[in-house]
Amino acid sequence: MADWIGIAFFVLLIAAAFVGIRALANQKPRTTEEFEKNAAEGTTALGASMNAVNEIMNPSAAKAKEVEMQMKEGRYGKKKREGKASDSDDDTDDELDT
């Protein structure tokens, strides 16, 4: 009798695992707006930590990413002069020497 109970337990366990996996495999349909919203939410903690590790392990790629951002913003290669008036593009308020 104990053998039948054990066999029934394992059969039910396998059936429950199969049904559970099938339920997890079914994805609910998403609209384009929901997809765009999820894509724009940002990175996860795991993705952010992997980016930080990549910057530590490959500093030249991090520098290239920074240069690319500066070029997109239009401020690559512009040098600030100390003690002079700032450019009109600069948002900081520097005091002028008189």
DSSP state for residue 94 in the 8-state scheme: P
pLDDT of residue 19: 95
Q: Which of 27-36, 47-56, 79-88 has the lowest mean pLDDT?
A: 79-88
As a whole number, mean pLDDT of residues 16-39 equals 87
As a whole number, mean pLDDT of residues 8-22 equals 95
pLDDT for residue 7 is more than 90: yes
pLDDT of residue 85: 53
Cβ neighbours for 30, distance < 8 A, ≥ 6 positions apart: 38
Alpha helices in the chain (DSSP H): 2-25, 32-40, 45-57, 59-73
- Which single residue is written with the structure tokens 């990175």? 43
